[in-house]
Amino acid sequence: MKTLVFYLLAMGIVLIACKKPSNPYDTAITVMVDETDTLPVYPTTQTLLSPFKLSDDPWQGMQISLVGIADKDVNAIITVSLEKEDRLTGNLTIRRAKVQRFITELQNAVATFRPHKCPRSIIFRAVAEQATQLANSAANKRYLLVFSDLLENSEVSFYNPQTLALLKNSPATMEKQLQCNIRIPSLNGMQVWFLFAPSSYSQNNVYMPIARFYESIYRAHNADVHVATQFSMP
């Protein structure tokens, strides 16, 4: 009888150790980088990871997807993943090695995004598409980071002063033009960050009305929206 009890206990321990979590990621981050212009602020491994303190909690799971903003609706996505593990059954030395590999892969992925000349920039649809995809993630914490000056240059051009005037005076009309055939779902629980550092007073006066326009739209879809120069959390 005792042998049977010990056997069942041993099997239970093995099953616990081998069972993978149904959701392997605590945090899902989508990083969008505008490749149509040179940006004053680019994502770095440090800025992306420092809020999550991986050195203090190496057991957490993270999935980071990086996608460029260009003149196409469909762009290549690079995804770097670190599945979470149980600290009770895991090996800390092996886990720290996995974390370091994850960091190195992220460094290599971030380094691939650099500006190149594009006659057009599709931003609104691209951001909406990534927000929709991220909304389907089962991760407890979801972040959409948009590194861009937000200067749309597709069917609607924010380089046109008349278009910018319309955006300021009638944002609802501009939203209808941009959001034609686009349905953004509820983004409840998601943080959306618009990250850009204007280099001059005039650039600031162009960027901020656009950023506030985006902020209004994504708040209306229940996202927690931040307009900032860098990604940071208290």
What is the four-CA torsion angle of 168, 171, 175, 178, rounded to 10 degrees?
-20
Q: What is the pLDDT of residues 113-122, one digit of tens each?
A: 887 777 789 9
Out of 89-103, 113-127, 202-216, which region has the weakest mean confidence (pLDDT)?
113-127
Residue 8 has pLDDT above 60, yes or no: no
d(CA 127, CA 144): 9
Per-residue model confidence (pLDDT) at position 37: 84
CA distance to 54, 71, 194, 197, per residue, from 118 (Å)? 37, 6, 21, 21
pLDDT digits (tens, 9 = 90+) for 70-98: 988 888 899 999 999 999 999 999 999 99
CATH of 24-228, one of 3.40.50, 3.30.1050, 1.10.8, 2.60.40: 3.40.50
Residue 181: pLDDT band by 50, 70, 90 thresholds?
confident
Task: Assess whether pLDDT exceeds 80 at residue 135.
Answer: yes
CA 147 from chain centre, in angstroms, equals: 10
Give the sheet arrangement for strand 190-195, strand by strand. Answer: 77-82, 62-69, 27-34, 141-147, 190-195, 224-228
Q: Is residue 67 a contact partner of residue 77, using CB atoms and an 8 Å limit? A: yes
pTM over 0.95: no
Query: Is residue 175 pLDDT above 80, yes or no?
Result: yes
